[in-house]
Amino acid sequence: MIWVFNSTPLIYLNKASLSWIFEELEGEKLVPTTVYEQVVVKGKERGEADALVTEDLIEKGVLKVVEVENEFKNKLAGIEELHEGEIEVLALAKERGGIAILDDSIAREAGEVFGIEVHGSLFLIFLMLRRGKMDGGDAKKKVDLMIRKGFRLDSQVYAEFLRLLEGI
């Protein structure tokens, strides 16, 4: 399995002390260079602790930084609503047959249109719940912490998250 990460999942899972999730995922875990620049380089300039956590995951070989240059990236570049990092995540996931992990709804919709499997941060949390690596109470606390740290989550999505937690 190949996982390709955008900035938001890296930042907010790390801000909520959930960096261990990246280590639990089986397969290759890739970070496009633009995402690396946004999360690690610019994050360190701002003094963000999550940037150091991501950098440590890269140094330990958990995450691998990859240059993205392919035809599909050029095709996506014409979509104004997508940021450069999202374009690279989708292009790399398409090229490698991987799963794009992004939280932006427009980027996820674009991925679905092009036949790319897309998921977000909450998917990874539910995956760890299903594997017994955390319980529902912990999951709720961590998502609430992510929100307090700036993670944007639509109220309907949050309500659905809580409803799904009750079923676990």
Give the model confidence (pLDDT) of 24-46 as tens digits: 999 999 999 999 999 999 999 99
Q: What mean pLDDT is predicted for residues 44-66? A: 97
Sign of CA dihedral 51, 117, 128, 124: positive
Predicted pLDDT at 41: 98
CB contact at 8 A, 25 and 121: no
For residue 57, name the pLDDT band (cuts at 50, 70, 90): very high
Predicted pLDDT at 25: 97
Give the model confidence (pLDDT) of 95-152 as tens digits: 999 999 999 999 999 999 999 999 999 999 999 999 999 999 999 999 999 999 999 9
Residue closest to 34 by CA, chosen among 73, 82, 88, 76: 88
Among 20-34, 63-77, 88-102, which stretch is predicted with the lowest mean pLDDT? 63-77
Domains located in the chain, CATH noted: 2-122 (3.40.50.1010)
Q: How far is CA 38 from CA 66, 113, 138, in A?
A: 14, 26, 28
Predicted pLDDT at 79: 79
Q: What mean pLDDT is predicted for residues 44-54? A: 97
